[in-house]
Amino acid sequence: MPVTALVSAKSCGTTASALALTLASRRPSLLAECDPAGGTIRAGFLQGAVTAGYGLYHLAAAERIGRSELANAFAHHLWGIDDAGHRKLLPGLTDPAQAPALTRTWPALAEVLKVLAADAGHDVFVDVGRLALEAGRLHPTLTPAPLLHAADFVLLTVRANDQSLTLARHLIEPLRTELDEHGTGSDALGLLLIEDGPYRPTQVATALHTPVLAALPWDAETAGYLTTGGRPPRGYARSPLLRHARSATDQLDALAQRRSIYLNRSAPDANLAGVLQRLTNARGGSRG
Ligand SMILES: Nc1ncnc2c1ncn2[C@@H]1O[C@H](COP(=O)(O)OP(=O)(O)O)[C@@H](O)[C@H]1O
Ligand SMILES: [Mg+2]
């Protein structure tokens, strides 16, 4: 199963889309909330149910001890976001000031996420948030670039309107260069289109010279629930956002299988794979 990183040029629905994909996937799934500006799911969708004792920040200390400590800490810090325990969240930072402590954790975390996807059969989504640029390249410390390098897909979230496309345009070349030089290749880059605006997917793809790999409808009610939590709206599981998100995960899985034929993946770390296999049978904390 693929690791899919979601990024944006400006707040436009990245977190709500990442949650929709994670909750809609047909397979076990995980959302790692890795936005250096801080996570919003804890206070939003989860309405404060997860304390600051859980989450991404705690992986930094574990990584300094070793790789299997990191894998164990990763498993411990996941939070179940469905009743069956098939969908998990690694809650994000509670304070942007925590981000520099993660700089040396990103490569090891990227490896854990890859193993979880490739060997433990999870659809893995990584919310990387808004990208910062410096001199036409990804900002070296404000962007968790190793998460993008390891991803099968990097989806730039855009809305189908001029304001969004104008800002997204500046990220295309820096992302392509980064993925060609350090990632799995610039063909990992695609768009996640939120259909809010006058443009059709083909027009957006042409305008940004980048394929639309997933499209999600404007669905304020479902997105509102994913953003602020509370009671799910009536017909939530069959809502336009969830149904399209489910199709999007199917499409990404199919594309990843085709793409992996061309990619020469190195063998995963056996230790890490063992820890993560056990994780798939264990439950983390759970909502409700
Ligand atoms: N598909 C959608 N339809 C309607 N509203 C959406 C959709 N996706 C996101 N939103 C809304 O847009 C706002 C920003 O979403 P959020 O996911 O927090 O963006 P980001 O993570 O990019 O900052 C929220 O109010 C959210 O409910
Ligand atoms: Mg966000």
Each domain of the chain, given as residue ranges in start order, spans 3-275
pLDDT given at position 288? 34
pLDDT of 282 higher than 60: no
Question: What residues have a C-beta under 5 A from ligand 2, the ion?
Answer: 14-15
Which of these ranges, 102-116, 128-142, 195-209, 249-263, has the smallest mean pLDDT?
A: 249-263
Q: What is the pLDDT of residue 259?
A: 85
- Ligand 1 pocket mutation, candidates 12, 22, 93, 156, criterion most atoms within 8 A of CB: 12
Q: Whose CA is nearest to atom 9 of ligand 1?
A: 13
The pLDDT > 70 percentage for the chain reads: 91
Q: Which of 40, 227, 236 should be mutated for ligand 1, with most atoms under 8 A from CB?
A: 227
Task: Report the atom number in ligand 1 closest to the C-alpha of 18.
Answer: 17
pLDDT at 272: 75
Q: Enumerate residues lining ligand 1, CB below 6 A.
A: 8, 11-17, 40, 194, 216, 218-220, 223-224, 227, 241
Cα(10) to ligand 1 centroid in Å equals 11
**Which among 194, 153, 202 has a CA at the least distance from the CA of 175?**
153
The mean pLDDT of 61-65, rounded to a whole number, is 96
Q: How many CB atoms lie under 10 A from the CB of residue 63?
A: 23
Does the pLDDT of residue 35 top 50, yes or no? yes
pLDDT band at 265 (very low <50, low <70, confident <90, very high): low
Q: What is the spatial distance between Cα 143 and Cα 138, in angstroms, rounded to a whole number?
A: 7
Cβ atoms of 265 and 106 closer than 8 Å: no
> What are the phi and psi torsion angles at 149 (to 5°)?
-60, -40
Cα separations in angstroms, 126 against 92, 145, 198, 209, 237? 10, 12, 28, 23, 22
In this predicted structure, the answer to whether residue 287 has a pLDDT above a threshold of 60 is: no
Contacts of 243 (CB under 8 A, 6+ apart): 24
Lowest-confidence region among 52-56, 109-113, 136-140, 153-157 = 136-140
Asked whether residue 8 carries a pLDDT value surpassing 50, the answer given is yes
Please tell us whether the domain made up of 3-275 is placed in CATH 1.10.3720.10.
Answer: no
